[in-house]
Amino acid sequence: MLFDPLTFPCGLVVPNRIALAPMTNGQSLPDGRLGDDELAWLARRADGGFGMIETCAAYVALEGKAWAGELGVDRDDDSDGLARLAERIKRGGAAAIVQLFHGGVRATQKLTGEQVWSASSFHEDTPGFETPRAATDADVARVIEQFADAAVRCERAGFDGVELHGAHGYLLSQFLSRTMNPRPFEERARLIRETTRAVRARTGARFCVGVRLSLEDRGHAKGLDLDESLQVAAWLAEDGAEFIHASLWDASKPTTKRPAENPIPLLRKALPPAVRVIVAGTIWTHDEAEAALAKGADMVAIGRAAILNPDWPRTGAEHRPPMRRAELADRAVSPVFVEYLTRWKGFVAD
Ligand SMILES: Cc1cc2nc3c(=O)[nH]c(=O)nc-3n(C[C@H](O)[C@H](O)[C@H](O)COP(=O)(O)O)c2cc1C
């Protein structure tokens, strides 16, 4: 099953059921243009047999930038860089997907030069928290256009599709949140739905459009409810999403809300059959990937295992952290990315 091709409603065919999960890594240039390290890291995984390569979260507008070294798809002056990236990933045999991102309250004035904004103004008692201003109608209209413009840029550059980052408590997820957005459910779902529709409408019928969601609370993703998230997934399918990518953190575990149920069959049941289900979280072996497919996923996305083994689809060899810097360098993980990975306790050995 893992090595069966998969067709998306737009007609995109990927050679197997294994995606590289989107991973932020700091390897882009200070102004958001593609860096050679970013190209090398993704190219190595395309050559390693991943059927689909997702880029790191890439900001659709400078005002949504959340990290130094983040890739930017916010303007036209790096069309060559994006085209080079798309061409190189596809040459490796993988489908090329950009993850479109706006940080909302998780952006930072240090990088954007502006006060951050979100669904409402609220305060969190965490170090460095920047209180957001509440979105105006103009902010909402502008950000929808920014997502659509960025998707068009990716399509022109030769990418096969985009994934809207609606997970992990970034802007689209902030609007879905009960705690960050004090509005009725249907209104909280409006921004992600209208953004999906706008991206779908502005891109060609053969361009793949999907959305990543957190189904329940974890980390910065707060104020989410499992049943609301499943309803959002169903609405997004109506709005033209061709895949829903659930960020589960551990795909084998049951949901928090219903401890007897795994989320994968629930998501599968919530969606029309043609809409693809991608799942990510603590998949280290081919057997664990097959188990996620058996539960109803169409595709798995591999994060940490793919950092440690760029040939994971071909070899399935299980490398577990920690790993030494020199070994990471051999796997096209640049010193900048290694530095970022030191935030993950126990990942980098020296
Ligand atoms: C270094 C690193 C960076 C990440 N950056 C992103 C990101 O930019 N966008 C995103 O949606 N998820 C991001 N994630 C989450 C992964 O996509 C994935 O869902 C998570 O790591 C769980 O999968 P795994 O257990 O296979 O690592 C990141 C994870 C890691 C380890």
CB 206 within 8 A of CB 11: yes
Q: What is the pLDDT of residue 268?
A: 98
Q: Which atom of ligand 1 is nearest to the CA of 168?
A: 11
Looking at the structure of the chain, the number of domains it has is: 1
CB contact burial 228-244 (16+ within 10 A = b; e otherwise): bbbebbbbbbebbbbbb
pTM: 0.99
CATH number of the structural domain spanning residue 94: 3.20.20.70
Pocket test for ligand 1, best of 171, 247, 341 (most atoms within 8 A of CB): 247
pLDDT in tens, the chain (350 residues): 999 999 999 999 999 999 999 999 999 999 999 999 999 999 999 999 999 999 999 999 999 999 999 999 999 988 999 999 999 999 999 999 999 999 999 999 999 999 999 999 999 999 999 999 999 999 999 999 999 999 999 999 999 999 999 999 999 999 999 999 999 999 999 999 999 999 999 999 999 999 999 999 999 999 999 999 999 999 999 999 999 999 999 999 999 999 999 999 999 999 999 999 999 999 999 999 999 999 999 999 999 999 999 999 999 988 999 999 999 999 999 999 999 999 999 999 98
> Residue 9, Cβ neighbours under 10 Å: how many?
17
Distance CA 255, CA 247 (A): 12
| Ligand 1 atom 13 nearest Cα | 23
Q: Which atom of ligand 1 is nearest to the CA of 284?
A: 26
Half-sphere exposure at residue 175, Cβ-oriented, CA atoms within 13 angstroms: 26
12 C-alpha to ligand 1 centroid (Å): 24
CB contact burial 325-350 (16+ within 10 A = b; e otherwise): beebeebbbbebbbebbeeeeebbee
Query: Is residue 338 included in any domain, yes or no?
Result: no
Query: Is residue 48 included in any domain, yes or no?
Result: yes
138 C-alpha to ligand 1 centroid (Å): 31
Q: What is the pLDDT of residue 350?
A: 84
Q: Which amino acid is at 19?
A: A
- Which residues span the domain enclosing 296? 6-319
CB 55 within 8 A of CB 19: no
137 C-alpha to ligand 1 centroid (Å): 31
Query: Is residue 34 included in any domain, yes or no?
Result: yes
Q: Which atom of ligand 1 is nearest to the CA of 56?
A: 8
Any residues with Cβ below 6 Å from ligand 1, and which?
Answer: 21-24, 56-57, 99, 165, 167-168, 212, 247, 249, 280-283, 302-305, 341
Query: Is residue 342 included in any domain, yes or no?
Result: no
Tokens 């551990």 -> residue: 250
Query: Is residue 293 included in any domain, yes or no?
Result: yes
Query: Is residue 328 included in any domain, yes or no?
Result: no
| Ligand 1 atom 28 nearest Cα | 23
237 C-alpha to ligand 1 centroid (Å): 23
| Ligand 1 atom 22 nearest Cα | 281
| Ligand 1 atom 14 nearest Cα | 23
Q: What is the pLDDT of residue 278?
A: 99
| Ligand 1 atom 15 nearest Cα | 23
Query: Is residue 238 included in any domain, yes or no?
Result: yes
Query: Is residue 25 included in any domain, yes or no?
Result: yes
